[in-house]
Every structure is written in structure tokens, then in C-alpha cells.
Chains A and B, each alone.
Chain A
Amino acid sequence: MAVMHEMAAGMGGIRTAGDLVARMVMKGMKIASAKEYVANKLGCSVFDLADSAKMKEIRESLDIGTILERKHASTGMAAKIKIAELLDIKIPSVELFKKKVGKGF
């Protein structure tokens, strides 16, 4: 079921900008506004958001995590800290992590 819906209608997760758009939808934004917001932050077109070739380049250049591990590349919490800054949002786990390490970055 997960594969079918994702392939037929999903954004594509971290293969594209699916996780980023989802974060804005989770803030209560309708899908069109969420896509526009993310596209503006990434400096790309709304059309590019679900293009895995385009988004691979963008994600790698911003170091916000992709589906493939790369040497010295950010993943997990490190990627999310950058995503929170990029989208200008508070991500609860990032806030918790900052608190734990005693940093206000």
C-alpha cells in the first residue's frame, strides 16, 4: 500500500523534496502553499520539487540528506538541523537536541 500510494501520488520523500513539503503541510499549510514555500527556500521551481534528478543535486549541495550515504555527508539529526534553518521552522527533535548539547545554535 505504501509503495503504491507513494509511486502514484506521493512527493518522493528524501529522494525529492517530499519530506520538506510534508514538514510545511504538517504546519497546517495546504499543499500548493507548502510547495511554493519550499521551492522559494530552495531557489527552485515548484515543478522541480518532485524531480529526483534535480533534487539530488539540490539536496547534495545543501547537505540535507539523500537516500544514499556519501562520505562526510550529513544524515539524521545533522541533516535536520540544516533543514530547520533552511525552512526557517522549529523541528521539535532539533530543539531537544540543542537543549541536550547545551547549544543555542
Chain B
Amino acid sequence: MSQKYFTRMGDGEGVWMTKEEIKNDVIAGMEDAVVRGKSQPLDDSEIDQLVEILTMPEKNVSVERGNEGIVTFDAGTLKLPIRSGIPVDRSTTLLIHERILCSDTMELCNTDYSYKAIKNIVPEEGMAMEQAQMNCIMPIFYGAMPNMGLYTKPDGPVDNWAMLLPEGKIKEAMAAQEEAAELCKNDMIYIGSVMAESGACGLQFDTCGASGDADAYAALGAAKVLSEKYPDVSITMGMANEFHLGMHGKLKFEGQRVAGQYPAKQVKSVEAAGAHSYGCVVNTNSSKSFAWNLSRSVTYVKEATRVANIPVLVNAGMGVGGIPLTNTSPTDATTRVSKAMLEIGKADGL
């Protein structure tokens, strides 16, 4: 009887699989990324390396000495005081990360993690950034999502394209997205400017493309303006998906159609926007095994790092980057993602 190894499904449930079953899923996951994203396949040694990582007997694993990368965080100051309910304020959260958790960077953010929502409180957010910068040694980003859907009626001024499209009002839906993208871009530029002038080390545009290609288009446009206006402020752009949904379909940024871009093309658009790093996102399929998901994610990441001229920082939170889709991701899975992304995917960090 073949030896079985403890591993997981994409929803975090523990399963026992043979090495052959794990390898078969690694190959199948890789092939999915090759077919869908036109990524180059992993070579035989990389497949074997990934199977080795997946079948290591240790509960938690780590990169070999010298292979470390830097670690960044989205929704940075949401995690301790809001999600975990610890009664500390955001500036204390930053210092806990700096001096206790030893994070390489951290992000200051608002509970409503959308640029539109921050517009009303941006002077106070700027003051919080100034105060944080006086106390912190490590780099501090300010971050939020474009979240372009918030500009639709009744919360915003623009007709809802998700309602127009099923009615066959294609031109109206496209026009609504173009109008929302302009509003979204302008808000990101305004808030980004306040934060830059408050001393932020960097700006994070997180989950770009969550409302489709126009959402990503708005963020790329904002990054281009801000990167020229504030060359010493680092801009990082994290994606919403491994490809931009074509809700509009015809928008182009710097001559390239945004809809349908996979990581290897997303990173080139981010470069063209003048951003300094790219956050690759590959969504986890909870019905497939951890081996399938991690292999698929690593294949996408490796293709992005192969073509990138800027650092690639892989999004490896709940339900992305091969991490199981659960709020309490098991440490065995999370640390295997860390190792595989840096050592096989050749990522610059997470």
C-alpha cells in the first residue's frame, strides 16, 4: 500500500493523498495556468521541488537561508483592532507589527477599505499617517481598494452597469463604467496626494479590478498620475483576480486592452503606470486540492516574475495564492505557499 501524506483541500479540510496523487494534481493545476493564462509550464525539477514541499513531514516549513523576501500587508491595521477585536488603536497596531511581529512593512488603513469612503475623512487619515510616521521605523503604506462599484446608484451618481447589461443596454453600461472610472480615478489621486503629502512611504491600491476591467483601468490611471507627481512615494498595485473581467471590454491602458489580462500582462500594465511593485492574485478553487491550487498559482507567479521588471509581491491571504479559502488558514498550508512562491515562483516577496 502506497504511503499517504497529510495535505488539504482548497477549503482547508485535511485529506490524505499518495505522492502520485499529489503529483498528478500538481501537473493538472500547472496545466490549467498554462492553458488559461498562457504561462510557461514548470519544468520537471520544479514539479519535483513542489511535490517535495507538499510532502515534507514537518508541520511548518520555511525558505532556505538566503531565499527570504519582503512581506507587505493589505488591510494592514484592520487585522488586530477590527477583525480580531483587540482594543488597540491603529498607531499601536503598527508598532506591534514593527517591534513584536517584526513585519518588514505595514499598512495604515480605514475600516471601510475603499477610496470613495475615505474621501470624507481624508484630513484625519492624513493626520494619522503623520503621527504614525513619527513613531515608526519600518515603511508605512496607506491602502484601500478602488471599489468602483460604490459609484453606482443609489450609493453613487452613476447608473449600475450590472443592471444595464442584462437589459441589453450595452452602450449605456459602457458609458456608466467610463463615468465611474473617472470619478474613482480622481478620488484615488486626491486621497493619494493627501497621503503622500502627509509622509506616507507608499500607497497601496488593493484588489484592483474587483468591479471589472474599468476598476483596474481607474487604478492604473491614478497610479500613473501619482507616480509622476510623487516619484519618491512607492505605489504597489494588488489585483482582484488572475484576470480582469471584461465588464466593459474595450478599455485600453497605454495601448493594451485591460479586459482579459492575466498576471504576465497585468504586471506590464502596472509597470506602464509607473507603479513600483505588482501584487499577483490567483484565486483558490475550494473544490480542488491544495496541491492543485498551489501549483496553478505558482505557475502564474513564475510567468509574471519572468517578464516583470518590477518586484512581484504575491497576494497570499485567505483564498488566494493557493492559500485555502478559510479565515483560519492552517499554518502547514500557509508556510508551504510562502516557500513555494519565493523558491519556485521566484517572487520578490509577499
Contact = CB atoms under 8 A, between A and B. Distances in A.
B238 interface: no
A41 interface: no
Nearest to A45: B66
A11 interface: yes
A4 B335 CA distance: 6
B276 A28 contact: yes
A11 B137 CA distance: 15
A7 B338 CA distance: 9
Given A30-B311, A92-B201, A19 B105 contact: yes
B71 A6 contact: yes
B302 interface: no
A31 B138 contact: no
A10 B61 CA distance: 13
B105 A31 contact: no
A5 B198 CA distance: 29
A45 to B, nearest CB: 10
Interface string A21-57: 1110111111100100000000000110010000000
Nearest to B80: A2
Interface string A84-105: 0000011111011100000000
- Residue of B103, B105, B136, B338 with most partner-chain A CB within 10 A: B103
B73 A18 contact: no
B127 interface: no
B245 interface: no
Contact of A11 (B104, B197, B198): B104
Contact of B349 (A8, A15, A25, A65): A25
Interface string B311-337: 101001110000000000101001100
Given A9-B71, A9-B339, A19-B139, A25 B61 contact: no
Given A46-B66, A47-B66, A92-B232, A9 B350 contact: yes
B102 A18 contact: yes
Interface string B63-81: 1011111111100000100
Chain A contact surface mostly? helix
A42 B99 CA distance: 21
B232 A22 contact: no
Interface in B288-325: 310-311, 313, 316-318
Contacts of B236: 26
B65 A50 contact: yes
A26 B202 contact: yes
Question: Which of A2, A76, A80, A97 has its CB near the most chain B CB atoms (within 10 A)?
Answer: A2
B201 A2 contact: no
Given A26-B202, A46-B66, A92-B196, A8 B334 contact: yes
Contacts of B79: 1-2
B103 A4 contact: no
Contact of A96 (B103, B140, B199, B318): B199
Contact of B98 (A14, A77, A95): A14
A55 B138 CA distance: 15
Contact of B139 (A26, A50, A75): A26
B135 interface: yes
A4 B70 contact: no
Nearest to B61: A8
Contacts of A95: 199, 232
Nearest to A13: B102
B331 to A, nearest CB: 5
Contacts of A96: 130, 133, 197-199
A50 B134 CA distance: 25
B97 interface: yes
B71 A5 contact: yes
A83 B137 contact: yes
Contacts of A91: 201, 232
Given A11-B104, A14-B98, A25 B277 contact: yes
22 contacts: A4-B60, A6-B104, A8-B62, A9-B68, A9-B69, A12-B104, A14-B99, A15-B102, A18-B71, A19-B104, A21-B70, A30-B348, A46-B66, A68-B99, A75-B137, A80-B136, A92-B230, A93-B140, A93-B200, A95-B232, A96-B197, A97-B134
